[in-house]
């Protein structure tokens, strides 16, 4: 899978996600057709996920736009993290997991037999819910990915600095690069993990609740970082924080869970996908409105 260099975003200021208001939910509108991204970097097409006999996610169709942040929201157990893990084949590592349908990256199905999942994860990086630095120095955490993937690097020192600067961490750690990453604060560790992801030059960054274990100040810094990184990457984030989704994302997908009347197992469903401003101010589906307004979930 080849690298597709990102270009700077030309998003008008009026579409800045930080200007999104959560007022006006449920107001009347003639809008019927959701606004979906043209020429998407990634798409999920009739995506179904099974864990053994359990049908975890049903018929999800999503498009992820270049240089956009897409938020996946919904109650616990609705399949949003499962969908996220499908986007770089992390579910391959789960025993009994089976994926049906397609997930495309620049039009290529990443689940095709001739596609190497390691190559997929090089282009589609992931930042996890809990910061997970390696038991190595700050420097070696960043250099690890390029080294193990055989990435051609002219100067590793320059690459490490570039990644740490992109993650807004360089000034805080430049004098202690040989110290253990475990000595950093939780927020710094999460930014280190983002820098580690950036170091392999991905095209897409997946983030699974990256701020759930952080305090409000660290959360604010990660949110600012995401908005800054949007100019160079496509970012897809799972979050339970409605305000966070409203602040940082360009588009939002709302999921819910449908219980099986026989077994009680809950299957994740995509209810609505649109620009974040539409989802939060004027959703098309009452289930979305009820969740956004706190009436359920």
Looking at 2.60.40.10, 3.40.50.300, 3.30.70.2740, 3.65.10.10, the CATH number of the domain 37-292 comes to 3.40.50.300
Does pLDDT of 187 surpass 70? yes
Does pLDDT of 22 surpass 80? no
- Note whether 65 and 38 are within 8 A (CB): yes
| 66-80: average pLDDT | 95
Query: For 164-177, b where at least 16 C-beta lie within 10 A, e where not — what string?
Result: bebbbbbeebeeeb
Smallest Cα–Cα separation from 249: which of 187, 291, 207?
Answer: 207
The rounded mean pLDDT for the chain is 87
> Per-residue confidence at 296, pLDDT binned at 50, 70, 90?
low
Sequence-distant (≥ 6) Cβ neighbours of residue 89 within 8 angstroms: 110, 111, 117, 120, 121
217 token code pair: 């100040």
The H or E element that residue 122 is part of is helix 117-123
Q: What is the pLDDT of residues 203-261, one digit of tens each?
A: 999 999 999 889 999 999 999 999 999 999 999 999 999 999 999 999 999 999 988 77
**What pLDDT was estimated at residue 7?**
36
Sequence-distant (≥ 6) Cβ neighbours of residue 95 within 8 angstroms: none
Q: Is 151 left (phi over 0), alpha (psi -120 to 50) or beta?
A: beta
> Per-residue confidence at 20, pLDDT binned at 50, 70, 90?
very low
Which has more pLDDT, 260 or 57? 57
Rounded distance between C-alpha atoms, residue 51 and residue 82, angstroms: 10
- Note whether 133 and 179 are within 8 A (CB): no
Does pLDDT of 14 surpass 50? no
**Residue 89 phi/psi, 5° resolution?**
60, 30
**What pLDDT was estimated at residue 141?**
97
**What pLDDT was estimated at residue 38?**
80
Q: Give the alpha-carbon dihedral of 271, 268, 109, 72, to 10 degrees.
A: 60
Q: Give the alpha-carbon dihedral of 114, 79, 105, 248, to 10 degrees.
A: -150
> Per-residue confidence at 36, pLDDT binned at 50, 70, 90?
confident
Rounded distance between C-alpha atoms, residue 162 and residue 242, angstroms: 32
**Three-state SS at 151:** coil
Tell me the β-bridge partners of 207.
127, 237
């Amino acid at each position: 899978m080849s690298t597709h260099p990102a270009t700077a975003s030309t998003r008008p200021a009026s579409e800045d996600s930080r200007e999104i208001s959560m007022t006006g939910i449920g107001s009347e509108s003639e809008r019927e057709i959701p606004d979906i991204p043209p020429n998407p970097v990634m798409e999920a097409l009739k995506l179904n996920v099974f864990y053994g006999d359990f049908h975890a996610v049903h018929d999800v169709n999503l498009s992820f736009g270049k240089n956009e942040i897409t938020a996946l929201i919904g109650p616990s157990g609705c399949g949003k993290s499962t969908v996220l893990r499908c986007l770089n084949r992390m579910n391959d590592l789960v025993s009994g997991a089976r994926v049906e349908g397609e997930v495309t990256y620049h039009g290529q199905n990443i689940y095709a037999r001739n596609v190497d999942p390691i190559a997929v994860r090089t282009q589609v990086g992931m930042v996890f819910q809990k910061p997970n630095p390696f038991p190595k120095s700050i420097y070696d955490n960043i250099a690890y990915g390029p080294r193990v993937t055989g990435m051609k690097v002219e100067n590793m020192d320059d690459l490490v600095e570039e990644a740490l600067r992109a993650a807004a961490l360089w000034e805080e750690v430049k004098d202690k690069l040989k110290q253990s990453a475990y000595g950093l604060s939780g927020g710094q560790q999460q930014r280190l993990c983002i820098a580690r992801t950036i170091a392999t030059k991905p095209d897409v960054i997946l983030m699974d609740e990256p701020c759930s274990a952080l305090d409000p100040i660290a959360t604010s810094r990660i949110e600012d970082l995401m908005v800054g990184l949007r100019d160079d990457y496509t970012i897809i984030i799972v979050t339970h924080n409605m305000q966070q989704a409203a602040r940082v994302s360009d588009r939002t997908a709302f999921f819910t869970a449908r219980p099986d009347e026989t077994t009680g197992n809950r299957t994740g469903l995509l209810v609505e996908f649109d620009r974040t401003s539409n989802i939060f101010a004027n959703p098309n589906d009452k289930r979305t409105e009820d969740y956004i307004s706190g009436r359920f979930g």
